With several copies, the nearest count.
Chain A
């Protein structure tokens, strides 16, 4: 830029007049101006193209992360399958694995059919007080749905995929609590309705910009919208089914250990891994600060939950109960989910620690209440879903009385609705087709009755 300065200096110094002057022709001036114009236009074009290139790349990265996150959430279904079947008896293994295999299939298909339209009905963000809306069946590609114009971060396909992977989760949660005695067909009908209607409608209240969103309720990745909603279904199912034969035998609580701790550990680790995407993907972009903090606090809460549950049960019963350690890890994960983007590392450790204590106490209390939850789904998902949602009002950047009020509103609204819906569905099924297998089937195991074979038929005998 110094040359211009020279120009200016000479003008100034010489009073704009010297002997050896240069007289310009019109052509000369025109061409000088044209030069400037060309440069300016060039600059404008570059501004656009550089901006476009930058935006394309940012779109590509954000979209890529959301796809990777979807893959991570997908693998949670295997986590649920192995965790739940590991904590149940061998004779019901196929049954549980089967449920957890078809649920993601059902979830993807029904969410494409109706769920997405119910969950994102197009409420006006910030002002809508609506409870229900429906954007229509199917997943027609919106205009520009495949470009950055869709939402600046990922394509419509990515959006749907990530949401659909979440959807099936709540039915999977129910599966664990009703394990070893529920009639398969009845459970499939329940899952179908719950995933296609109940989950997305409640979800629309917050994530679809409905009334809870307007009221300021906060649920980052679904402590309430996914886990509590699933947990309510678990509670309703467990209540209506009654306990497994022998669980409360002669006035005693009779523990029924699962058949495969290796499987349960695999499941828990896969769930934890999946949570990298469940929470990390809920940032809805690859924003470095936010995603890295979210994943970090998620891991710290899981670790704290695992350790505190371990120590709590050790204090109470003097043994290292691995099933409680696993439940504790999951509790930390569920509890941090509602506020994962609002918490400091220290907050997350506190939240996870409380979650780990809560899950152990809750498992014992639920047993005492004569509710039979084979895998602890109610304690992990419902109790800690509530705790985590509350915690947003107690810790982190949003904490404060008004937020606490909003959180309580959301908790009460979502849980009563979910419980009422789940209870109704199970109740209708109970009165119509029946929801519990007969005694002989339960004793001999559901596998041979509904699936034709056992899970390990050629295992020990040659």
Chain B
């Protein structure tokens, strides 16, 4: 088993989800995070002053455990469906999973 952690744009979520469904992924987990990139600067303006904040790009993390052999396909699928072609599309990491247990079993 291998864990795939993809940091994507929230606005691309539905497309990625549909793409994953199509290649047969049955389950995954996601949660929202904030991505800090120190390039990013003006994030709004309030009462005449700019909000300069490097912390506020909202991203969504998809966490998917798949057999190692499926990983390249899944990564390719996400990489394609999550892309807008502009900076800030996100990254995909893999990390080792040493065991899986189904709760209750």
Q: A443-B11, A444-B11, A461-B32 are in contact. Are A321 and B48 (CB under 8 A)?
A: yes
- Per the bound structure, the CA–CA distance linking A321 and B46 in Å amounts to 7
Which residues of chain B are near A318, meaning CB under 8 Å? Answer: 45
Which residues of chain B are near A448, meaning CB under 8 Å? Answer: 44
- Per the bound structure, the CA–CA distance linking A5 and B51 in Å amounts to 91
Q: Looking at chain A, what size class is its interface with the partner chain?
A: 20 to 34
Establish whether residues A323 and B46, one from each chain, have CB atoms under 8 Å apart when the complex forms: yes
Q: How far is the CB of B1 from chain A (nearest CB, A)?
A: 28
Establish whether residues A323 and B47, one from each chain, have CB atoms under 8 Å apart when the complex forms: yes
For the complex, is A27 an interface residue (Cβ under 8 Å from B)?
Answer: no
- Per the bound structure, the CA–CA distance linking A462 and B51 in Å amounts to 16
For chain A residues 311-330, which have a beta carbon within 8 Å of chain B?
A: 313, 316-319, 321, 323-324
Establish whether residues B46 and A453, one from each chain, have CB atoms under 8 Å apart when the complex forms: yes
Chain B residue with the shortest CB-CB distance to A460: B32
Establish whether residues A255 and B11, one from each chain, have CB atoms under 8 Å apart when the complex forms: no
Which residues of chain B are near A321, meaning CB under 8 Å? Answer: 45-48
For the complex, is B58 an interface residue (Cβ under 8 Å from A)?
Answer: yes
B27-61, CB under 8 A of A: which get 1 and which 0? Answer: 00000100000000000111111111000001000
Q: How far is the CB of B10 from chain A (nearest CB, A)?
A: 6
Q: A440-B11, A443-B11, A462-B58 are in contact. Are A257 and B48 (CB under 8 A)?
A: no
For the complex, is A126 an interface residue (Cβ under 8 Å from B)?
Answer: no
- Per the bound structure, the CA–CA distance linking A255 and B45 in Å amounts to 8
For the complex, is A136 an interface residue (Cβ under 8 Å from B)?
Answer: no
Q: A246-B14, A444-B11, A453-B51 are in contact. Are A255 and B46 (CB under 8 A)?
A: yes
Residue from B49, B51, B52 whose CB has the most chain A CB atoms within 10 Å: B49
B1-35, CB under 8 A of A: which get 1 and which 0? Answer: 00000000011001000000000000000001000
- Per the bound structure, the CA–CA distance linking A321 and B32 in Å amounts to 27
Chain A residue with the shortest CB-CB distance to B60: A461
Which residues of chain A are near B10, meaning CB under 8 Å? Answer: 461-462
Establish whether residues B58 and A317, one from each chain, have CB atoms under 8 Å apart when the complex forms: no
The interface-forming segment of A49-57, A163-171, A342-350, A360-368 is A360-368
Contact of A324 among B14, B47, B51, B52 (CB under 8 A): B47
- Per the bound structure, the CA–CA distance linking A257 and B47 in Å amounts to 9
For the complex, is A254 an interface residue (Cβ under 8 Å from B)?
Answer: yes
Contact of B48 among A317, A443, A453, A462 (CB under 8 A): A317
Establish whether residues B32 and A254, one from each chain, have CB atoms under 8 Å apart when the complex forms: no
Which residues of chain B are near A376, meaning CB under 8 Å? Answer: 47
Establish whether residues B58 and A367, one from each chain, have CB atoms under 8 Å apart when the complex forms: no
Contact of B44 among A324, A367, A440, A453 (CB under 8 A): A453
Chain A residue with the shortest CB-CB distance to B53: A254
Which residues of chain A are near B32, meaning CB under 8 Å? Answer: 461
Q: How far is the CB of A4 from chain B (nearest CB, A)?
A: 80
- Per the bound structure, the CA–CA distance linking A273 and B49 in Å amounts to 30
Chain B residue with the shortest CB-CB distance to A444: B11
Establish whether residues B46 and A257, one from each chain, have CB atoms under 8 Å apart when the complex forms: yes
Which residues of chain A are near B45, meaning CB under 8 Å? Answer: 255, 317-319, 321, 452-453
- Per the bound structure, the CA–CA distance linking A115 and B10 in Å amounts to 46
For the complex, is A431 an interface residue (Cβ under 8 Å from B)?
Answer: no
Which residues of chain A are near B44, meaning CB under 8 Å? Answer: 255, 257, 448, 452-454
Which residues of chain A are near B46, meaning CB under 8 Å? Answer: 255, 257, 321, 323, 452-453
Contact of A253 among B11, B14, B49, B58 (CB under 8 A): B49
For the complex, is A252 an interface residue (Cβ under 8 Å from B)?
Answer: yes
A277-298, CB under 8 A of B: which get 1 and which 0? Answer: 0000000000000000000000
Establish whether residues A367 and B11, one from each chain, have CB atoms under 8 Å apart when the complex forms: no
- Per the bound structure, the CA–CA distance linking A50 and B87 in Å amounts to 83
- Per the bound structure, the CA–CA distance linking A363 and B47 in Å amounts to 8
Which residues of chain A are near B52, meaning CB under 8 Å? Answer: 252, 254
Which residues of chain B are near A254, meaning CB under 8 Å? Answer: 49, 51-52
Chain A residue with the shortest CB-CB distance to B34: A461
Q: How far is the CB of A48 from chain B (nearest CB, A)?
A: 60
Residue from A324, A367, A452 whose CB has the most chain B CB atoms within 10 Å: A452
Q: A440-B11, A453-B46 are in contact. Are A255 and B58 (CB under 8 A)?
A: no
- Per the bound structure, the CA–CA distance linking A50 and B52 in Å amounts to 71
Which residues of chain B are near A462, meaning CB under 8 Å? Answer: 10-11, 58
Interface CB pairs A-B, < 8 A, 21: A253-B49, A254-B51, A255-B44, A255-B45, A255-B46, A255-B47, A257-B46, A257-B51, A316-B48, A317-B45, A321-B48, A324-B47, A324-B48, A364-B47, A440-B11, A444-B11, A452-B46, A452-B51, A453-B45, A453-B46, A453-B51
Beyond the given pairs A254-B49, A257-B44, A453-B45, 5 more chain A to chain B contacts, judged by CB atoms under 8 angstroms and listed by A's residue number, are A252-B52, A255-B45, A360-B48, A452-B45, A461-B32
Interface residues of A (CB under 8 A from B): 246, 252-255, 257, 313, 316-319, 321, 323-324, 360, 363-364, 367, 376, 440, 443-444, 448, 452-454, 461-462
Counting from the closest, the 10 A-B pairs by CB-CB distance are: A255-B46, A452-B45, A443-B11, A255-B49, A253-B49, A453-B44, A452-B44, A364-B48, A257-B46, A317-B45
